[in-house]
Structure 1
Amino acid sequence: MANWKCGNCGYELVADQPPEKCPSCKEKCEFLDNTCYTPDCEYEGKDPRIK
C-alpha cells in the first residue's frame, strides 16, 4: 500500500491507488505519492520531506 497526499487540502490516506475524489475536500485533486522509499523514514511509512 502507498501513502497518498491530496495536492489541494493535504489530506493523507493509505491505499493501493488514490481515489477519484478527495474524501476530505470532495474535489477531484492530484494526489502525491509520499510513500517512503529510503531508510531514514522507513518506520514512519511516509516521507515528511514531500509537502
Structure 2
Amino acid sequence: MQPKDRQALLSAIEQYEAEARRLAGRVSENQRHFLKVALEKGKELAPTGRMAGPRI
C-alpha cells in the first residue's frame, strides 16, 4: 500500500469512527452501571435455562 493510499485510508477510518461515536450518543449512568457489574461478576450472573433465550 502506498503512503498516499494509507493516509487516505486512515483518514476515512477516523471519519467513520467519529461519525459512529456521534450517532451512538452518550452512555447513560444506568448502562454504565450495568456494564460495570457485568465486568465484575462475569458469567456468574448470566441467566440460564429459559431465561437465557434460544441458543443460535
Q: TM-score, normalised by structure 1?
A: 0.18
Considering Cα pairs closer than 8 Å and 6+ residues apart, tell me whether 1 or 2 has the greater RCO.
Answer: 1
The TM-score, its normalising length taken from structure 2, stands at 0.18
Structure with a larger share of its residues in strand? 1
